[in-house]
Amino acid sequence: MEHIQRHPARVARAPSRFLDALQRWLPKLVVAPTFVLIGVGIYGYMLWTGVLSFTSSSFLPVYDFVGFEQYAKLMANDRWLTASVNLGIFGGLFILSCLVIGVILAIFLDQRIRQEGAIRTIYLYPMALSMIVTGTVWKWILNPSLGLEKLMHDWGWTSFSFDWLVSSDMAIYTIVMAAVWQASGFVMALFLAGLRGVDSSIIRAARVDGASLPLIYWKIILPSLRPVFFSAVMVLAHIAIKSFDLVMAMTAGGPGYSTDLPAVFMYAHTFTRGQMGLGSASAMLMLGAILALIVPYLYSELREKRHD
Amino acid sequence: MTDVVRTGFRPSRVAVYGLLLLAALVYLIPLFIMLVTSFKTPMDIRTGNLMALPTDWTTIGWTKAWSEACTGVQCEGISGYFWNSFKMTVPAVLISTLLGAFNGYVLSKWKFKGSDLFFGMLLFGCFVPFQVVLLPMAATLGKLGLANTTSGLVLVHVIYGVAFTTLFFRNYYVAIPDALIKAARLDGAGFFTIFFRILLPMSTPIFMVSLIWQFTQIWNDFLFGVVFASGDSQPITVALNNLVNTSTGVKEYNVDMAAAMIAALPTLVVYIVAGKYFIRGLTAGSVKG
């Protein structure tokens, strides 16, 4: 009290200094809730799952450390092997088909098309649907008795037979079909945006030199869109690794476990079969796959930024 | 670059249009089949085929899907789950967008030591496969008493959506000149004044992108719904999956398709009304600049 009375100037300044400090801390205070949520909800939980993957947890978490036992079990697990192979088939075909279809549609759509906006809207609407909706519809279309097969019979192709959905060898390809239907429009949109950014003077020059339009696209334009290719592959691979809904809606992993993907495997073992340790190990391997994919990507992104 | 191509009637133009229209048909046919089937009678479905129009149009599939169809043990239709999805989606979208806006503001205009690292953490968070957080999250929700509740799902969607919304706003605000902020600070404007008076009025487009992106993501989510909700609190996607894959009784494909349409309508409407922002959201994360 005495101290303040002797220095009246300070009394006036004190609140403003408090406000200054508040101003300085305010930005940090504002992001603090998110920092906590992300820190716990992503990084903390990631670590927790990692710990669980080294335990023998079954229906309830137990914290006895068994080393890499769960990973070893996983590698010897037939179902996990199927899921991994399926991811290779599904991911490979899905990414490739989406790229081919997306690039072709984007190039064709970039030729001064009337009603371009409407056509683009049609190509992209499946992206707004839930994978469960997509799966439900495709399951109906590919219905072995009442679906596509019956349509072809009614249209006169009586020998047509299509039972991929219930065939353990072919069912994974039906999931590729539905997934490509859903996501190829998105790749088209990415490439169309890329094409719009290509400098037209280069193309005009090549044109003057007598190069044909397909050759120009193949030799000049597409190579210049390499960053778009990388982005598209990144996003598609990411979708593939996380694919869960579509399989659940179309085949629920069946027939048997022939259409299992890692995400389905993880869900089944962790939440319905009571093998938490094994489920956690499979989740960590999925994380590993994503890391192998995005770390080089983010690295090259950041390096490019620095060069700018 | 489009000006390179000469327009006018040429065979190649016909081929271009032909292929584009064919592709449009392929994208549209599943929607057509879904709609047509939903208006058929079960009898009609057995005798007709996928592409045939209903012989007599009926909304019985829709009413049944809405209020009678079985989703597992219960047979009360999907109406309750439809509202569940709204009760979950609306707060989650609003909260995650607001948090994202403030985070983006701080990470672009009020950088502090470590803020870039924080942004990197968020960016990485966009890529993490949710499988690595499911189990601990389930345990936490149980401890908090939020297991199988809509509030629990809201919390989950906020946590795993905020990385994306922050990314949207941060990239949007980075493009706004710092000089503007500096001038306002010299005039004595504080943290919130600058945000509400200067940035907010020019943020409408990015708010639209964030709201629409989050709405679509959260409405369409299945993984969190199936893991963290059960029974009465399930969202529509889980109910639809239960309905379609319920093995009791005769399969009623008209009901399945009507239910799928009901689940798809909100996001379809949003897409048709504000597709421009939806596309910007889709490409925001993947195309640089």
Task: Tell me the C-alpha distance between A57 and A66, whole Å.
Answer: 10
Token look-up 């869900």 returns A267
Residues A167 and A271 in one domain: yes
Chain A residue with minimum CA distance to B286: A231
Q: Which pLDDT score is estimated for B9?
A: 57
Q: Which pLDDT score is estimated for B55?
A: 87
Residues A48 and A81 in one domain: no
Residues A41 and A137 in one domain: no
Is residue B126 scored above 90 in pLDDT?
no
Contacts A190 to B, Cβ<8 Å: 283, 286-287
Closest-CA distance, A302 to chain B, in angstroms, reads: 10
Is residue A3 scored above 80 in pLDDT?
no
- If one compares A167 and B282, the residue with the highest pLDDT of the two is A167
Token look-up 């209903």 returns B54
Maximum C-alpha span of chain B: 77
The verdict on A233 touching B (C-beta cutoff 8 Å) is: no
Residues A107 and A199 in one domain: yes
Q: What is the pLDDT of residues A263-301, one digit of tens each?
A: 999 999 999 888 999 999 999 999 999 899 888 877 777
Contacts B189 to A, Cβ<8 Å: none
A70 belongs to a structural domain: no
Number of Cβ within 10 Å of residue B254's Cβ equals 24
Residues A28 and A161 in one domain: no
**Residues A195-222: what's their mean pLDDT?**
84
Residues A284 and A162 in one domain: yes
Residues A145 and A238 in one domain: yes
Rounded to 5, what percent of chain A is helix, strand, coil? 75, 0, 25
Residues A159 and A271 in one domain: yes
Contact B287 A231 (CB under 8 A): yes
User: Cβ distance A190 to A95 under 8 Å?
Assistant: no
User: Cβ distance A249 to A134 under 8 Å?
Assistant: yes
Nearest beta carbon to residue A248 from set B138, B241, B271? B241
Q: What is the pLDDT of residues B161-209, one digit of tens each?
A: 999 999 999 989 998 899 988 899 888 888 889 999 999 999 999 999 9
Least confident of A78-82, A272-276, B18-22, B72-76: B72-76
- What mean pLDDT value characterizes chain A? 87
A184 belongs to a structural domain: yes
Token look-up 């990385």 returns B163
Q: What is the pLDDT of residues A209-234, one digit of tens each?
A: 888 888 888 888 888 888 889 888 98
Contact B121 A38 (CB under 8 A): yes
Closest-CA distance, B231 to chain A, in angstroms, reads: 16
Contact A241 B129 (CB under 8 A): yes
| Band of residue B107 on the pLDDT scale cut at 50, 70, 90 | very high
Contact B136 A48 (CB under 8 A): yes
| Band of residue A15 on the pLDDT scale cut at 50, 70, 90 | low
**Residues B41-47: what's their mean pLDDT?**
86
CATH architecture of B79-284: Orthogonal Bundle (1.10)
Give me the CATH number covering residue A97.
1.10.3720.10
**Residues B39-58: what's their mean pLDDT?**
87
Q: What is the pLDDT of residues A27-44, one digit of tens each?
A: 899 999 999 999 999 999
Q: Which pLDDT score is estimated for A9?
A: 46
The verdict on A294 touching B (C-beta cutoff 8 Å) is: yes
Q: Which pLDDT score is estimated for B30?
A: 95
Residues A15 and A83 in one domain: no
Q: How many contacts does A have with B, using Cβ atoms within 8 A? A: 286
* Residue A9 structural domain: 2-52
- What is the per-residue DSSP string for B155-201? HHHHHHHHHHHHHHHHHHHHTS-HHHHHHHHHTT--HHHIIIIIIGG
Tell me where in chain B the CATH 1.10.3720.10 domain(s) lie.
79-284
Number of domains in chain A: 2
Task: Tell me the C-alpha distance between A22 and A30, whole Å.
Answer: 11
Nearest beta carbon to residue B128 from set A227, A280, A287? A287
Supply B277's token pair: 């922002």
Residues A95 and A38 in one domain: no
Dihedrals phi, psi of A168, to nearest 5 degrees: -70, -20
Residues A190 and A260 in one domain: yes
Spatial CB neighbours of A95, under 8 Å, sequence gap ≥ 6: A233, A236, A237, A240
Residues A111 and A257 in one domain: yes
Task: Tell me the C-alpha distance between B115 and B110, whole Å.
Answer: 9
A127 belongs to a structural domain: yes
Radius of gyration (C-alpha) of chain A in whole angstroms = 27
Q: Which pLDDT score is estimated for A113?
A: 86
User: Cβ distance A165 to A247 under 8 Å?
Assistant: no
Task: Tell me the C-alpha distance between B93 and A290, whole Å.
Answer: 26
User: Cβ distance A94 to A236 under 8 Å?
Assistant: yes
Is residue A119 scored above 80 in pLDDT?
yes
The verdict on A198 touching B (C-beta cutoff 8 Å) is: yes
A71 belongs to a structural domain: no
Q: What is the pLDDT of residues A146-184, one digit of tens each?
A: 888 888 888 888 888 888 888 888 899 999 999 999 999
**Residues B67-96: what's their mean pLDDT?**
90
Number of Cβ within 10 Å of residue B190's Cβ equals 13
Supply B166's token pair: 């922050």
The verdict on A63 touching B (C-beta cutoff 8 Å) is: no
A72 belongs to a structural domain: no
A67 belongs to a structural domain: no
